[in-house]
């Protein structure tokens, strides 16, 4: 059983998180590049938030959205 958990440790520490060690070392020379993963995540979240609100506006303009406060039976 111990070998199983050591295998999981090896997978995450020595393989999957190796790029994170590189970013951590890079932080001292260039903060912006070291945080590229965060910037990509922020850009993706901003895009999908914009897309979601655009779709909500389309449904609202067509009158297809239901603004019923009793959407669930237990709220009646």
Q: Report pLDDT for 33.
A: 84
Q: Report pLDDT for 53.
A: 96
Tens of pLDDT, residue by residue, the chain (76 residues):
999 999 999 999 999 999 888 888 888 888 888 888 899 999 999 999 999 999 999 988 988 877 666 666 666 5
Q: Is 23 exposed, middle or buried (0-12, 13-18, 19+ CB in 10 A)?
A: middle
Q: Report pLDDT for 70.
A: 65
Residue 57 lies in a domain: yes
Residue 41 to residue 63: CA distance in whole angstroms: 33
Residue 51 lies in a domain: yes
Domain of 47?
A: 2-62
Residue 73 lies in a domain: no
Q: Which tokens in the block code for residue 65?
A: 């959205």
Contact 75, 69 (CB under 8 A): yes
Q: Report pLDDT for 47.
A: 98
Residue 9 to residue 62: CA distance in whole angstroms: 53
- Based on the structure, what is the number of domains in the chain? 1
Q: Report pLDDT for 6.
A: 95
């Amino acid at each position: 059983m111990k070998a199983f958990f050591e295998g999981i440790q090896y997978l995450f520490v020595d393989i999957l998180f190796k790029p994170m060690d590189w970013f951590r070392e890079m932080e001292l020379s260039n903060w912006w590049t070291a945080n590229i993963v965060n910037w990509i995540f922020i850009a993706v979240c901003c895009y999908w938030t914009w897309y979601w609100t655009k779709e909500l506006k389309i449904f609202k303009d067509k009158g297809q959205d239901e603004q019923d406060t009793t959407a669930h039976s237990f709220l009646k």
